[in-house]
């Protein structure tokens, strides 16, 4: 939120109280408390009629600091709180005449007393700082109350916002804030973390995360479920400013210096992602949104994929598995599916998992709605006139109140009947259209609940799946998210268009999402709205099948490949089978994501933080730490991509290229820039018709472009996420040595040096 008019002037509606100097410093468990008056205090008399800002700095390990600031200590905004794994640790506090310092051993907070300011330091360098008029309370539309008896000493009237601004250095770029489809580098943008259903072609986001990090090695998480408003080098071009409604502000500062270390600490605080089941990495096929279908139609899709030898892992029933005007009472449309248990059993026999679309809204006119309204399980109107209802989306629909534990059980029990029919997982759509003129069961502020609602919604569904299907089998396909939602994978990018610009913005959204602590992500191959050309369909299929999760889904038309052209079937088959063979590598990176919070799909700057060519790069990405993917984004088949320093090998063709430069080349539909980084050890599987199999049996381990004296490591998981073998390779004195922790079954070990490829024997540790 902008509070100034240019650099010198403040908005006339903003009346600020800013921390001006430090009056006292107090040691507290894990850190220090600082009292900062909002004006000069030359003597004791000056302490009267003077507001203060209080700060607390506390250590959570040696790389993370909690910062809390407030104007009124007892202010209660009735906000829900993000779930956090918070444990304070000891820090060394020292104080001099001019400064107070909190030292975690790696990270320092240095508070300047006169004038007020503080900075974060590591490795002898200043990371960022807060100084003159950078911290305070903004009293928006303030109406002072006169101090006399007739005024009855009422509370001062204004809208409170706490504001903090942190400095940016020259060349510093800011990333994150959730799945945002605007420019990947967020400098110059005004960002409100307010979830909305706005598609992928605007500044609006389905997944707003109040977290960012920069290429200077630190991250910042603002701990507020309300709308956190950011001015990212926009209102003041030398700062990132963030403001929250209310009289209190809380944030966490994470030092890396690597992006991986930052996300490790951030997800350690807000929750690591569950490991999705291996079968979920295969191809998903949907009925699409507004299309007509019944069992004959869906069976024709499934059989058509089998007949064309296109591996299919999941079949998804979108909205109209329920009758019109019944979303969501979770009752199957009996005219279209008279024997749904039999239908699902037959699909299971074909080796498929089944997904069903749901959302947290309940249309009126059915028993499920009436029961929810009667028992108080739906959100109530703020004016007390019954249940909040709208015709926007479903006629007279209400919204489930997930702050009511009984409502959660009621909703889960109804979903349980869907699972009893044989359904394996849910697509948790929506969760952004959450009203604010409502009252919640637990009394939460409805504005602060707007974003947090999606956390409670997805958590309720995910916990049910863990209970019924088992912890290793639980998986969602979710659209909305907030901080902590990474614990309930997978998420997809929402409503994109069938166009190359929309494909590019989808990539940007995924990259920003990855820089926001989320590890597993998908998108609608070929676009949701409109119908793609055969050219776009095939290009997007390659991109989609080189994402962690892959789904064919659309709005008004089916997305089976034979409706586009014959070659589309060949392309989808080729990349689906390639992904299945890559599963030993992909699933090992997924286990890493589960253990450390590292995204599987990684922006180039995530892996190459010090390469200035990667700073703004948003049309390609790393899949894990070893594979570089650059989707073709032009109708003329030309790809423009950058290879960082080193020797790179094309995974499909074997072509070798030197990095540190840009390339522009043409690719057919069965290829794209897909390169392996030098000194990489990649495990590929022996199975190409499904994603879940014994990855160790018949594995091919390929050592790409060995470098003298540098080790390469590859971990092979099983489908439960256990690491069953670790393989190490090294070029030592000109000789390649490959060792395995356990004997490899039917394995092939290959070394690629230059354009030469040869098989070698391996030893045992």
CATH number assigned to the domain covering 4-72+80-270: 2.60.40.1760
Active-site residue 429, yes or no?
yes
Sequence-distant (≥ 6) Cβ neighbours of residue 307 within 8 angstroms: none
Q: Where are the domains of the chain?
A: 4-72+80-270, 278-358+404-581, 601-764
In angstroms, what CA-CA distances link 548 with 358, 587, 622, 637?
22, 9, 11, 24
Annotated catalytic residue within 432, 592, 618, 730: 432
Annotated catalytic residue within 179, 235, 429, 445: 429
CB 536 within 8 A of CB 286: no
pLDDT at 443: 97
CATH superfamily of 278-358+404-581: Glycosidases (3.20.20.80)
Active-site residue 495, yes or no?
yes
The answer to whether 4-72+80-270 and 601-764 have equal CATH topology is yes
Annotated catalytic residue within 231, 247, 495, 692: 495
CB 221 within 8 A of CB 254: yes
The strand order across the sheet containing 283-286 reads 425-428, 353-358, 314-317, 283-286, 550-552
Distance CA 131, CA 241 (A): 12
Tokens of 642: 């950058």
- Strands 425-428, 353-358: pairing is parallel
CATH number assigned to the domain covering 601-764: 2.60.40.1180
Going by C-alpha positions, the residue among 405, 403, 427, 404 that lies closest to residue 415 is: 427
Q: How many CB atoms lie within 10 A of CB 630?
A: 24
Q: What is the mean pLDDT of each run of 10 residues along the chain (765 residues)?
A: 84 93 97 98 94 98 98 95 96 97 98 98 97 96 77 79 98 98 98 96 96 98 98 96 98 98 98 98 97 95 98 98 97 96 98 98 98 98 97 97 98 98 98 98 98 98 98 98 98 97 98 98 98 98 98 97 98 98 98 98 98 98 98 98 98 98 98 98 98 97 95 97 96 92 90 94 60
Question: How does DSSP assign 428-485, residue by residue?
Answer: E-------SSEE-TT---HHHHHHHHHHHHHHHHHHHHHHHH-TTT--B-B--B-TTG
In angstroms, what CA-CA distances link 120 with 133, 167, 220, 659, 731?
17, 11, 12, 35, 41
* Strand runs labelled E in 336-379: 353-358, 361-362
pLDDT at 765: 40
């Amino acid at each position: 939120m902008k509070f100034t008019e240019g650099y010198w002037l403040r908005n006339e509606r903003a009346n600020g109280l800013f921390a001006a100097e430090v009056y006292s410093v107090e040691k507290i468990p894990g850190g220090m408390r600082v009292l900062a008056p909002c004006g000069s205090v030359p003597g004791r008399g000056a302490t009267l009629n003077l507001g203060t800002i209080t700060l607390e700095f506390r250590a959570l390990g040696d790389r993370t600091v909690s910062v809390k600031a407030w104007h009124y200590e007892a202010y209660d905004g009735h906000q829900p709180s993000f779930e956090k794994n918070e444990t304070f640790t000891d820090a060394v506090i020292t104080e001099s005449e001019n400064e107070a310092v909190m030292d975690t051993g790696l990270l320092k907070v240095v508070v300047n007393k006169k004038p007020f300011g503080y900075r974060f330091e590591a490795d002898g360098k200043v990371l960022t700082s807060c100084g003159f008029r950078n911290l305070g309370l903004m009293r928006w539309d303030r109406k002072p109350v006169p101090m006399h008896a007739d005024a009855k000493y009422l509370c001062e009237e204004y809208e409170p916002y706490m504001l903090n601004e942190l400095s940016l250095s020259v060349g510093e770029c800011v990333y994150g804030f959730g799945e945002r489809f605007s420019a990947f580098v967020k400098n110059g943008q005004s960002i409100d973390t307010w979830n909305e259903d706005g598609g992928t072609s605007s500044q609006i986001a389905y997944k707003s995360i109040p977290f960012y990090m920069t290429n200077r090695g630190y991250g910042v998480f603002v701990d507020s479920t309300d709308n956190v408003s950011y001015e990212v080098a926009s209102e003041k071009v030398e700062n990132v400013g963030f403001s929250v409604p209310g009289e209190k502000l809380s944030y966490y500062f994470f030092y890396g210096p690597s992006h991986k270390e930052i996300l490790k600490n951030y997800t350690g605080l807000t929750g690591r992602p569950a490991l999705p089941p291996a079968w979920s990495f295969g191809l998903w096929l949907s009925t699409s949104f507004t299309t007509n279908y019944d069992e004959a139609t869906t069976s024709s899709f499934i059989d058509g994929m089998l007949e064309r030898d296109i591996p299919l892992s999941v079949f998804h029933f979108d909205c109209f598995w329920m009758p019109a005007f019944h979303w969501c009472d979770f009752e199957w449309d009996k005219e279209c599916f008279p024997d749904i248990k039999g239908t699902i059993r037959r699909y299971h026999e074909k080796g498929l998992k089944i997904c069903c679309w749901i959302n947290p809204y309940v249309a009126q006119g059915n028993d499920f709605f009436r029961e929810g309204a009667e028992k108080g399980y739906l959100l109530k109107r703020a004016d007390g006139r019954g249940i909040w209802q709208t015709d926007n989306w479903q006629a007279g629909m209400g919204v489930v109140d997930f702050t009511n534990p009984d409502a959660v059980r009621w909703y889960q029990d109804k979903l349980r009947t869907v699972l009893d029919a044989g359904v394996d997982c849910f697509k948790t759509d929506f969760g952004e259209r959450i009203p604010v003129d409502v009252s919640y069961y637990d009394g939460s502020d409805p504005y602060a609940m707007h974003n947090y609602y999606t956390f409670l919604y997805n958590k309720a569904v995910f916990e049910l799946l863990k209970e019924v299907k088992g912890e290793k089998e639980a998986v969602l396909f979710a659209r909305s998210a907030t901080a902590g939602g990474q614990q309930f994978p997978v998420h997809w990018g929402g409503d994109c268009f069938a166009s190359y610009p929309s494909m590019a913005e989808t990539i940007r959204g995924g990259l920003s999402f990855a820089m926001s602590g989320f590890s597993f992500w998908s998108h609608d191959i070929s676009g949701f709205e409109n119908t793609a050309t055969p050219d776009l369909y095939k290009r997007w299929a390659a991109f989609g099948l080189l994402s962690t999760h892959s789904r064919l889904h659309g709005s008004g038309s089916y997305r089976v490949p034979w409706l586009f052209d014959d070659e589309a079937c060949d392309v989808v088959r080729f990349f689906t089978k390639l992904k299945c063979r890559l599963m030993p590598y992909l699933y090992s990176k997924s286990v890493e994501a589960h253990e450390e919070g590292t995204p599987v799909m990684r922006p180039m700057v995530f892996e190459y933080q010090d390469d200035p060519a990667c700073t703004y790069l948003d049309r390609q990405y790393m899949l894990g730490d070893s594979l570089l993917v650059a989707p073709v984004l032009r109708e003329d088949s030309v790809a423009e991509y950058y290879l960082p320093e080193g020797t790179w090998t094309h995974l499909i063709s074997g072509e070798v290229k030197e990095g540190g430069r840009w390339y522009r080349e043409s690719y057919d539909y069965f290829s794209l820039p897909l390169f392996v980084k030098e000194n990489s050890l990649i495990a590929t599987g022996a199975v190409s018709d499904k994603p879940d199999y014994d990855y160790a049996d018949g594995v091919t381990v390929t050592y790409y472009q060995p470098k003298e004296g540098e080790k390469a490591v590859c971990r092979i998981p099983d489908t439960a996420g256990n690491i069953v073998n670790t393989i190490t390779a090294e070029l030592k004195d000109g000789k390649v040595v490959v060792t395995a922790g356990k004997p490899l079954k039917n394995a092939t070990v290959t070394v690629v040096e230059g354009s030469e490829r040869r098989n070698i024997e391996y030893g045992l540790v």
